[in-house]
Amino acid sequence: MIAFAFTLLAAAQTSAPLIHQPPALQPLTLQEDRLRACMTQARRDPPTAITTAVEWMEGTYGGDLSYPQQCLGFAYMSLLRWDSARVAFIAARDSRPETDHAGRARLGGMAGNAALGAEDFAAAAPLLATAQADALAAGDNPLAGQMATDRARALVGLGSNQEAAAVLEQARELAPQEGAIWLLSATLARRMDDLAAAQGWIRTAALLDPQNPAVGLEAGLIAALGGFDDAARSSWQSVLALAPGTAEAMTAQTYLAQLDGEPPAR
């Protein structure tokens, strides 16, 4: 469960700043240029980036405040200061115009990810629900699907598996090409003892994201629980071949060792 949150946070920490990309020949605005510089600093020297962002906020008003607040959030996230990051991202979101639904969705999603990092699932779920609604208002279905997936992670953290399953159904409809959605759907279905659904969804995940060792791990677990030991062995051996020396490979090796003994841990 917690692994779900940190997989997502890893993506959030390496994501690009929220800059509306201009046409090819149009230069960045001053605020966008400053945000890029501050973001680079946030990755390399987070404490200094915090100082930079705070100083930038002085004399900055209205929607422009979202830029230093976003940099501040990423700097806090780099330091694993999740609660402070969440506050900064919420402030960045609230500084955006109400009509900028896509921008508010992304910033709200960052706030939700920070709450997931703190394992504050009760705070994450409503933030991500709002972000999903903003993405839908923007007409950005892939973004809405991502927000729905993140929201499902929070609901799993709260133990609301049925609600999480319903939200993942929305995610699959909104962003059917995202392998991570099908992987999470399969994992949740397995945990809810719906192996038939889990098998179908992990097959789709494998088609969409065949190089992801997490898909091979999950496929093996589902196969083993269904009594298909040869298929489980094949899936875990594929993880060893695909990602040798990784944490996933170590887990696969453990599962292979357990295959002829007690069932894999669920």
pLDDT tens string 107-129? 999 999 999 999 999 999 999 99
**CATH code 1.25.40.10 for 2-176:** yes
Q: What is the pLDDT of residue 266?
A: 57
Q: Which amino acid is at 212?
A: N
Q: What is the pLDDT of residue 39?
A: 93
Residues lower than pLDDT 70 in the chain: 1-28, 261-266
Q: What is the pLDDT of residue 198?
A: 97
Q: What is the pLDDT of residue 263?
A: 54
CATH class of 198-266: mainly alpha
* Contact criterion met (CB below 8 Å) for 167 and 155: yes
Q: What is the pLDDT of residue 91?
A: 97
pTM: 0.85
Ranges for all domains in the chain classified under CATH 1.25.40.10: 2-176
Segments in the chain forming alpha helices (H): 2-13, 30-44, 46-57, 66-78, 82-95, 101-117, 121-137, 141-157, 161-174, 179-191, 195-208, 213-225, 229-242, 247-258
